Structure 1
Amino acid sequence: MGPSLPALALLPLLAGCGDTGGLVAAGATPTASGPVHLWPDRTGASVPPADPGGAPPEYVKGIPPVHDRDVHGVDPAALVQAELRAHPNTEVGADGMPAETAAAIRACAKDGEDGEDGEGGGAEPEACPVLTPYYRDLTGNGKDELIVGIEFPDQMMSVRVYTADPDGRLNRIMATTQTVISVELAGRDVVLRVPSGNHGYELITAWSWDEKQLTMLPTREQIVRVPASGQGPADRGPGSGLGPGPGLGPHTGPGSDPEPVRP
């Protein structure tokens, strides 16, 4: 029995060493589980092939080619007037336009036609439905695209984007008409905020360049709640791909001024 006494005497010492600096169990952890497929034996609906959804690229006739794919010298009013000549009396589709808006655009001033005020002939600038353009490289080719807005009645708006091909010809790569709350640039996306079909909510759609379709397509959509005060941007919620973050807001890179720039 004598030899076992020293071993018993060491037990309290060893137990004491384990109480300082050792790992302590945190208890049982919840088991991770993936999504559960409900009614797996049910035959689901078939999904048709993806629809491009946007307007196909269209060469704009009647506008001289631009040098070095530089769209900054293009008069946006003259550009839309050329489209009106190519698609007269069109009220639906990508080129659709109310007759009164088309008449006002035909009266817009053109570059080089000086009026008495030196601002050009035709309608006064504030009366022209073609808004001041913006510029941004949306296709990633290192050249700015031309972003044009056209005011329609009842808060509706046509948003169009044009790019220059290697030959300098202008191609329209986006055209959509909606009841627009606001238009934003986020990175290389054009983001439209429009009223949702549900009261108290709005729909945010991001249009992005698609290299296969060679056009801008609506790639992301999000329905967000409008703040109760009705002021400021909608609460896009945490983790939203369209919410505040890098790339959202004015772009300050070379060649793309955050403020509207006249050609």
Structure 2
Amino acid sequence: MPRSRPTRIVALVALLLATATACGDAGGLQGAGPTETAISPDKLWPQLTPASSPAYVVGEVNREVVKGVAVPGGDIREVDPVAVVRGEIAESPGDYDGDKAPYHRTGSLMADCDEGAGRGRCPVLQPYYRDLTGDGRPDLTLGFRLMPGNTTAVRVYTVEKRRLVQVMEWDDAVSGVELAGRSVILRSPSEVAGYEYRLQWTWDADQKAMLLTHDEMLRTGPRKKTPRPAPSFSPSPAASTP
């Protein structure tokens, strides 16, 4: 025989009380201690005249149409990554040609790229394709080693009106590269032990380029334990000698 509605309510209340009691036995909520008082930021030097232009040009917006590289059918996957890098090298021969050029090894090893990027001794790394601009089409993230040295060039390209457009470039000693959403994240070693640099570029629809939105230093290693000071010992009066 099914229970009536009042009986079911009484049973439910009893069950909730029993559950609450059991939870209380297992350990109830505990205070985390006093909350720190919020302190508003202090504005320094309010008498300073706000700057109207940057003191240094750091290339916040990098956007350039790549010349001489075809985009068959407007599909960026049909673009030859090796041809893209060769085109960049051709624009800066002083950096790659000749034994005294800073990246002469990259220039000489480009001859080993006939089989494609990411193969053999070719300095051009495997290309990656992901929609970073939000237009529903894949974009190209490309990297190549700058040798001699420990530097990697990272580039991002998109396609506009069947033209290849570079929307991000960075050269650095890179320990890792990640793609997340509309962002490219680069991790680089730091001269401070136990830390690394983390730089993030994010697509900006107004500038139609990847902008450097985060530049920070993060801890990677375990925190060093601060040694506790040794307790000082002073003899009690009873133990002291006259």
Whether the 8 Å CA contact 2:157–2:164 is kept in 1: the answer is yes
Query: Which residue number corresponds to residue 89 of structure 2?
Result: 84
8 A contact 1:54–1:215 mirrored in 2:
no
Matches within 5 A, 1:1-263: 33-37=38-42, 43-44=47-48, 46-49=50-53, 53-54=59-60, 56-67=62-73, 69-90=74-95, 98-109=103-114, 119=115, 125-153=119-147, 154-166=149-161, 168-228=162-222
Would the aligned equivalents of 1:81 and 1:106 in 2 still touch at CA under 8 Å?
no
The structure showing larger relative contact order (alpha-carbon pairs under 8 Å, at least 6 residues apart) is 1
Q: Which SS does the other structure have where 1:89 is aligned?
A: helix
Contact 2:71–2:79, Cα closer than 8 Å, also in 1: no
**Per the alignment, do residues 127 and 35 of structure 1 end up closer, same or farther by CA in structure 2, a change over 3 Å counting?**
same
Q: Which residue of structure 2 aligns with residue 25 of structure 1?
A: none
Cα deviations by residue, 1:173-198 (Å, 9 ceiling, x for unpaired):
11110000100111110000012242
Matches of 2:145 and 2:36 in 1, distance apart?
56
Q: What residue ranges of structure 2 are gaps of 5+ in the alignment? A: 1-33, 224-242
The alpha carbon displacement at 1:142 in A equals 1.1
Alignment partners' CA distance in 2, 1:90 and 1:31: 55
Query: Hey, what's the Cα distance between the residues in 1 that align with 2:191 and 2:81?
Result: 32
What is the percentage of aligned positions where both structures have the same residue?
35
Structure 1 residue 103: deviation in Å?
A: 2.1
Give yes or no for contact 1:194–1:204 (8 Å, CA) kept in 2: yes
Partners of 1:146 and 1:103 lie apart in 2 by 24
Do 1:52 and 1:217's aligned partners in 2 also have CA atoms closer than 8 Å?
A: no
Question: Which letter maps to 1:88?
Answer: P
What amino acid sits opposite 1:164 in the alignment?
A: V
Given that 2:195 and 2:218 are in contact with CA atoms closer than 8 Å, whether structure 1 keeps it comes out as: yes
Shift of 1:125: 2.2
Alpha-carbon separation, structure 2, partners of 1:194 and 1:36? 31
Q: CA deviation at 1:213?
A: 2.5
- Structure 1: 5+ residue stretches without partners: 1-28, 110-118, 230-263
Q: Describe the shift of the 1:196–1:53 C-alpha distance in structure 2 as closer, same or farther (beyond 3 A).
A: farther
- Taking structure 2 as the reference length, the TM-score comes to 0.65
TM-score normalised according to structure 1 size = 0.60
What is the RMSD computed on CA atoms of the aligned residues? 3.2
